[in-house]
Amino acid sequence: MLLCRSGRCASRGWLVWSLSILLPVLISAAQVSAQSKAHKKKQARATASPSGSPGEQSLANIPLPIGHEAKGLVLPDFDGEGHLRGRFEAGMARRIDEGHVGFEHLKITTYTPENQPDLQIDMHTSVLDLKTRILSSQERTTIQRADFNIVGDSVQFDPDTRTGRLIGNVKMVITDRSHLEEKPDTNE
């Protein structure tokens, strides 16, 4: 006895058979497409190196839309010649408006012209003015170098010149005085 006289069962069987063949093909094609997109993104990041275009890799060009936040943001800061001047690591960054970016838990490392770490600056909250490139914080800030530690209630820091101004309850501890002391003249 036939279960399907109208022929629908045969067409359903063909449909099931074709789906069992086509479904794995469609899934693998989607995976290949996603892998190729990820590969293209990696290549785009690799081509955006500091030696390729130093003007694009600066604090003036932070890729963050107004009102948006980014967690774990790491920003390199290159000078006009493409040398690494500093590295900004923010726990959270938020574009306040066209000219200002706010940071929380910001750690800045500045580098010497020989690419050696120089200053380590820790700020709880801070705001970067993109036009003047002055970073300011109204909270206790720590600046460390191999030979000193300095802490103050508020700070204004210029990453270009690596100079700053600490204000209020400033405390400095010098850990290495050897370069501060005058060395006796050995010619006498």
Q: What is the pLDDT of residue 115?
A: 86
Is the pTM higher than 0.85? The answer reads no
Q: Looking at residue 113, what is its pLDDT?
A: 86
The superfamily (CATH) of domain 59-174 is Lipopolysaccharide (LPS) transport protein A like domain (2.60.450.10)
148-186 in b/e form (b: 16+ CB < 10 A) is eebbbebbbbebeebebebeeeeeeeeeeeeeeeeeeee
Q: Which residues of the chain have pLDDT under 50?
A: 1, 19, 32, 39-57
pLDDT at 127: 95
pLDDT of residue 51: 38
pLDDT score, position 58: 60
